[in-house]
Amino acid sequence: MRRGGIIAGLDVGTTKICAFIAEVVDNKINILGMGSAPSTGLRKGVVINIESTVDSIKKATAMAETAAGVEIRSVYVGIAGGHIKGFESYGAVGIRGKEVRPQDVERAIDSASVVYVPLDREVLHVIPTGFMLDGQDGIKDPVGMSGVRLEVKVHIVTGAVSSVQNLLKCCERAGLEVIDIVLEPLASAEAVLTEDEKDLGVALIDIGGGTTDIAIYRDGTLRHTAVLALGGNHFTSDIGIGLRIPVLEAERVKKKYGCAVTSMVDGTEEMDVAGADKQTRKIPRKYIAEIIQPRCEELAELIKREIESVSTKELGLSGAVLTGGASLLEGLDRLVEANLGLSVRIGMPEGIRMSRSSPVSGGQSSLSNPMYSTGIGLILHGSMNGGERVFYGDMFDGIFDRMKEWVKNLFGVNGHDLRGKTVTMKQRV
């Protein structure tokens, strides 16, 4: 058995902060532990309170460390928020030898990365989306091919320096070194999309608490990314305002009775709702759908506009995959499907399970939940962009045998290619 390293992913979300610890064994990923803590220091995906974010990160990582039995010092961390922007760039180089070498590919990507980036923005990812060799396009991996001129198209993702630095600061203050900052929809896409979907054309739509993150794939490569500042928390606050109930009750009501489409709700159904004075009253369930349907339609419309802004004949999509906690809202997938005119499914991180009971979910943890897509995706991203490994804690030697026992109960994530796919260039301003 070939052992790899321990990889840790940290999803700093608007509603929860989630830490995952995994081990790569024989190119398979075993989730060893996870921890989650409510997040109160973020707004629309961006850190607005360092102290409370640090506190939640510490809680989530401590929980994951206890479950995994290893200590972590460095993590792959996710980033989102309205400040994220993606754009295309292009580069070309001459080939010096007879055939394309990895260094030529690197030079081509470097030349595509030489773009003007304002001082207040930081490049997070430079992702090659297609190569052309002597005018021949559609090449995914030019290494080893003969030619004299290599061209590359890249997708460059940038974020506001201040938001990136605040996220880094939170991790640092929580005692964690950041190996890489990963755009959240890219991480989620790794966890829920199939290679076939990426080939045929798919929009990954991660509807979280504060943001809706979009990543569009076609011909196996990323074509477009976007972050919309609208998410499940808006449904909750609409319900709170509409029914004049506290946010916590609105959140409960949304999860239990919420529906995105009024016509899907039985008109005779009633539900109990508690007001600020703790008095409960019965109201028709249809009210909830009537309150949130316009907001769901607004979200579906924004998603449609974003997809249409890049969707051309050659970038026709065959479907969309919804993930993120808010994708669990009843009827939202049907509403988005009708709006986009594409088939829609809900994407969960498939086939991944914890070895033993997690303190978070009361002992029967199943990670097949769309709200864990980003966290699991960060682990997959970490394994693919391998090289740097998260350190094995001091406790590791002592617990190695115990871990072997747990690992027996785990099963790996099959079929994930562990070769590097994205080129990440942090700190390039």
Ligand X SMILES: Nc1ncnc2c1ncn2[C@@H]1O[C@H](COP(=O)(O)OP(=O)(O)OP(=O)(O)O)[C@@H](O)[C@H]1O
Taking the CA atoms of 224, 374, 412 and 4 in sequence, report the sign of the dihedral they define: positive
Segment lying near ligand X (by CB under 6 A), choices 66-74, 251-259, 303-311, 400-408: 251-259
User: How many H helices and E strands in the chain?
Assistant: 11, 18
Cβ proximity of 21 and 65 under 8 Å: yes
Q: Considering only residues 7, 15, 311, 379, which one is a binding residue for ligand X as defined by CB under 6 A?
A: 15
Residue 399 Cα distances to 2, 68, 70, 395, 412, angstroms? 18, 10, 8, 6, 20
CB of residue 49 vs Mg ion: minimum separation in angstroms? 18
Containing H/E element for 43?
Answer: strand 42-43
Which part of the chain contacts ligand X (CB under 6 A), choosing from 8-16, 119-127, 239-247, 287-295?
8-16
Q: Is 238 in the site for ligand X (CB under 6 A)?
A: no
Q: Which is closer to ligand X, CB of 208 or CB of 377?
A: 208
CB atoms near residue 71 (< 10 Å): 20
**Amino acid identity at 351:** G
Q: Which of 201, 208, 210, 349 binds Mg ion (CB under 5 A)?
A: 208
Per-residue contact string for residues 26-45; x = within reach of ligand X by CB under 6 A: -------------------x
- Contact between 354 and 33 under an 8 Å Cβ cutoff? The reply is yes
Q: How far is the CB of 132 from ligand X (least distance, A)?
A: 35
Q: Is 13 in the site for Mg ion (CB under 5 A)?
A: yes
Beta carbon nearer to Mg ion, 41 or 208? 208
Beta bridge partners of 321: 204, 345
Report the partner that residue 254 touches, choosing among ligand X, Mg ion, none (CB closer than 5 to 8 A by kind): ligand X
Tell me the window of 83-91, 225-233, 360-368, 421-429 that interacts with ligand X (CB under 6 A).
Answer: 225-233
Whole-angstrom distance, CA of residue 10 vs CA of residue 171: 9
Cβ neighbours of residue 134 closer than 8 Å, sequence gap 6 or more: 147, 148, 149
**Does 254 contact ligand X by CB under 6 A?**
yes
69 versus 210: smaller Cβ distance to Mg ion: 210
Task: Report the Cα 56 to chain-centroid distance in Å.
Answer: 19
From the list 251, 348, 355, 382, which residue makes contact with ligand X (rule: CB under 6 A)? 251
Please give the backbone phi and psi of residue 268, each rounded to the nearest 5 degrees, phi first.
-90, -10
Instruction: Output phi, psi for 34, to 5 deg.
Output: -145, 155
In Å, the largest CA–CA distance within the chain is 79
By beta-carbon proximity to ligand X, the closer residue of 84 and 93 is 84
Is residue 331 part of the contact set for Mg ion (CB under 5 A)?
no
Q: Bin 387: left if φ > 0, else alpha if -120 < ψ < 50, else beta.
A: left
Where would I find the H helices in 215-310?
Answer: 232-243, 247-257, 286-310
Cβ distance to Mg ion smaller for residue 166 or 374: 374
Q: Which of residues 335-394 bind Mg ion (CB under 5 A)?
A: 374
What single DSSP character describes residue 426? T
Name the 3-class secondary structure at 418. Answer: coil
Q: Taking CB under 6 A as the rule, does residue 231 contact ligand X?
A: yes
**What 3-state class would DSSP assign to 388?**
coil
Taking the complex as a whole, the smallest distance from the CB of residue 335 to Mg ion amounts, in Å, to 20
Is residue 377 involved in binding ligand X (CB under 6 A)?
no
The tokens for 408 are 């027996």
Residue 233 binds to ligand X (criterion: CB under 6 A)? yes
Is there a contact between 323 and 206 (Cβ–Cβ < 8 Å)? Answer: yes
Region binding ligand X by CB under 6 A among candidate stretches 10-18, 216-224, 276-284, 415-423: 10-18
Minimum gap (Å) between residue 311 Cβ and ligand X: 24
Residue 212: CB partners within 8 Å, gap ≥ 6? 205, 206, 227, 228, 230, 231, 299, 302, 303, 324, 326
Minimal distance in Å, beta carbon 257 to ligand X? Answer: 10
Burial class (CB in 10 A: 0-12, 13-18, 19+), 363: exposed
Nearer to ligand X (CB atom), residue 30 or residue 211: 211
Q: Which of 128, 185, 232, 382 binds ligand X (CB under 6 A)?
A: 232
Minimum separation from the CB atom of position 238 to ligand X (A): 12
Which residue's Cβ lies closest to Mg ion?
A: 208
Stretch that binds Mg ion, among 85-93, 206-214, 259-267, 386-394 (CB under 5 A): 206-214
Instruction: Compute the least distance from the CB of residue 209 to ligand X, in Å.
Output: 4
Under rule CB under 6 A, residue 59 binds ligand X: no
Indicate which single residue of 95, 216, 227, 329 sits in contact with ligand X (rule: CB under 6 A): 329
Contact 296, 322 (CB under 8 A): no
Give the binding site for Mg ion (CB under 5 A): 13, 208, 374
Residues that bind ligand X (CB under 6 A): 13-16, 45, 80, 208-211, 231-233, 236, 251, 254-255, 258, 324-326, 328-329, 371
